[in-house]
Amino acid sequence: MATGAALQVNNMNVSYGESRVLFDASLTFPASAVSVIVGRNGAGKTTLLKAIAGFLKPGSGSVVLGGDEITGLRPYQVVRKGLKYIPQDKEVFSDLTVRENLELASYAMKDHDWSKVLRYFPKLQQLMHRKGAYLSGGERQMLMMGRAILGKTHVLLVDEPTEGLAPSIVQDLVAAFKQLASHCTLVLVEQNLAVARELADQLYLMKEGKVVAHLADRAGIESLAFEKDL
């Protein structure tokens, strides 16, 4: 087992009923690095993140977080260990303000550090009194990330953070991820290959429920140039 791995997934198999969608997935996520998972729609990326975060029970395999086995723990137990998961749908409480959305998370987390959130996402300061319903996609993504890092966060899993966002907002998020990487271990599912290449310290490629490539150096990551390579 590699030392310095913040998170490790070993031989994970996941099925929905009779239908098996993850096959012996093994991935290692080093501490304080940005790992990016790419692959076409239906490759199993979301299923992998949900299983790591405790929302799906793997049929077999294990998840090890900082040396602690967390396989089979419930999502709230996983969160308490400092692993946060931001799902693909970018849902915030639409009837609550940004501040209230954050406060809700802070009650759940007990330990919270507002200054950290505003350091990484200064734009949230001006939005504190705006209701979730009136936020743009990029602002919702920032709120979700702010909520996730309010308490202690060792590992942050983010599913398709830039999906459907305007290019200027994508650049803001890329900058935020780069800063966050010095603070925690990032695992991103990212369909935008330019973003994936810019951020990745290592990159996993998934296809039909399997990990089919692991690119751990710049040359390898740069070589993944086109959607058709996926």
Ligand X SMILES: Nc1ncnc2c1ncn2[C@@H]1O[C@H](COP(=O)(O)OP(=O)(O)O)[C@@H](O)[C@H]1O
Q: Judged by CB under 6 A, which of 4, 18, 41, 168 binds ligand X?
A: 41
Rounded distance, CA 74 to CA 88, Å? 19
21 binds ligand X (CB under 6 A): yes
Using rule CB under 6 A, residue 18 touches ligand X: no
Judge whether 175 and 195 are in contact, CB under 8 Å.
no
Contact status: 44 vs ligand X (CB under 6 A)? yes
Which of 37, 34, 66, 32 has the alpha carbon at shortest distance from 49?
A: 37
* Number of other residues whose CB lies within 10 A of the CB of residue 24: 13
Strand ordering across the sheet containing 5-16: 19-30, 5-16, 60-65, 68-69
Query: By rule CB under 6 A, what string of x and - marks binding of each residue 46-75 to ligand X?
Result: xx----------------------------
In the complex, least distance from residue 21 CB atom to ligand X, rounded to whole angstroms: 4
Query: Using CB under 6 A, which of the segments 35-43, 57-65, 134-142, 161-169 binds ligand X?
Result: 35-43
Look up residue 103 and give its two tokens: 């406060």
Residue 130: name the closest of 176, 173, 92 by CA. Answer: 92
| Among 28, 46, 71, 185, interactor with Mg ion by CB under 5 A | 46
Residue placing its CB nearer to ligand X in the complex, 56 or 173 = 56
Q: Any contact of residue 42 with ligand X (CB under 6 A)?
A: yes
Pick between residue 44 and residue 54 the one whose CB is nearest to ligand X. Answer: 44
Q: Which is nearer to ligand X, 98 or 211 (CB)?
A: 211
211, with CB counted inside 10 A (0-12, 13-18, 19+), is buried
Give me the residues that bind ligand X (CB under 6 A), please.
Answer: 16, 19, 21, 39, 41-47
List interacting residues with Mg ion (CB under 5 A): 46
